[in-house]
Chains A and B, each alone.
Chain A
Amino acid sequence: MLAVRVLGTAAILFVLSIIVFSMLHLAPGDLVKTLLGTRPASPEAVAAIREQYHLDDPLPVQYLRWLGGVLSGDLGESIRLQTSVSDAIAARLGLTLALCGLAFAIALAVGVPLGVQSAVRAGGVLDRAGTTLGVIGLSAPTFAVGLLLLYVFAYYLPIFPVYGGGRGPLDTLYHLVLPAVTLAAGLGAIVLKLTRTAMLRELDADYVTSARARGIPESRTRRLALRNAAIPIVTGASLLLTFLVGGTVLAETTYALPGLGTLLQDSVLFKDLAVVQALTLLVALVIAMIALLADLAYLMLDPRVRAQGGAA
Chain B
Amino acid sequence: MTAALGPVGVGFRSRRRIPVTIVVCLAVLAVALLAVLLGPLLFPDATEQDILSSLMPAGSPGHPLGTDELGRDILALTVAGAASALVGPVCVAVGSMLLGILLGTLAGYERGPLDFAISRWTDLLLALPVLLAAIVVSGVFGGGYWTTVALLILLFSPSDIRIVRAGVLEQAARPYIEAAQMLSLSRWRVMFRHILPNVSSLVITNAMLNVAFALVAFSSLSFLGVGVPPGTADWGRQLTDNRAIMFDNPAAVIVPAVLIIAVACCVNLVGDWLGQRLTRSGGLA
Contact = CB atoms under 8 A, between A and B. Distances in A.
A12 interface: yes
B225 A136 contact: no
Nearest to B269: A135
A154 B139 CA distance: 31
B129 A253 contact: no
A245 B224 contact: no
Contact of A249 (B135, B141, B216): B135
Interface string B122-137: 0110011111100110
A12 B127 contact: yes
Interface residues of B, number: 40
A284 B127 contact: yes
Contacts of B219: 141, 143-144
Given A135-B272, A138-B268, 14 more contacts: A16-B128, A27-B141, A136-B261, A141-B219, A144-B239, A145-B261, A147-B239, A148-B254, A154-B247, A246-B132, A249-B224, A250-B223, A287-B129, A288-B127
B63 to A, nearest CB: 20
- Chain A, interface SS category: helix
Given A26-B141, A141-B220, A148-B258, A249 B247 contact: no
A141 B128 contact: no
Given A140-B261, A283-B129, A269 B246 contact: no
A139 B131 CA distance: 14
Contact of B124 (A15, A138, A265): A15
9 contacts: A26-B141, A139-B268, A140-B216, A144-B219, A144-B261, A151-B253, A155-B247, A249-B224, A269-B225
Interface string B191-235: 000000000000000000000100010011001111000000000
B285 interface: no
Contacts of A284: 127-128
Contacts of B220: 141-143, 246, 250
A136 B265 contact: yes
A144 B257 contact: yes
Interface string A154-196: 1100000000000000000000000000000000000000000
B264 interface: yes
Contacts of B130: 242, 246
B139 A268 contact: yes
Given A144-B257, A269-B139, A139 B264 contact: yes
Contacts of A94: none
Interface in B233-270: 236, 239, 243, 246-247, 250, 253-254, 257-258, 260-261, 264-265, 267-269
B142 interface: yes
Interface in A9-35: 12-13, 15-16, 23, 26-28
Contact of B254 (A139, A151, A273): A151
Interface of B: 123-124, 127-132, 135-136, 139-142, 212, 216, 219-220, 223-226, 236, 239, 243, 246-247, 250, 253-254, 257-258, 260-261, 264-265, 267-269, 272
B261 A139 contact: yes
Contacts of A13: 127
A13 B129 CA distance: 14
A250 B246 CA distance: 18
A275 B243 CA distance: 26
A155 B139 CA distance: 33
Contact of B239 (A135, A143, A245): A143
- Chain B, interface SS category: helix
Contact of A287 (B127, B247, B253, B267): B127
A23 B140 contact: yes
A271 interface: yes
B261 A141 contact: yes
A231 interface: no
Nearest to B265: A139
Nearest to B268: A139
Contact of A144 (B136, B140, B260): B260
B128 A135 contact: no
Contacts of A242: 129-130
A283 B239 CA distance: 27
A246 B216 CA distance: 11
Contacts of A37: none
Contacts of B257: 144, 147-148
A242 B254 CA distance: 27
Given A8-B123, A141-B260, A155-B247, A268 B223 contact: no
B268 A245 contact: no
A98 to B, nearest CB: 20
A280 interface: yes
A276 B123 CA distance: 22
Contacts of A145: 261
Contact of A246 (B129, B139, B246, B258): B129
A139 B247 contact: no
A119 interface: no
Contacts of A116: none
B140 A273 contact: yes
A9 to B, nearest CB: 9
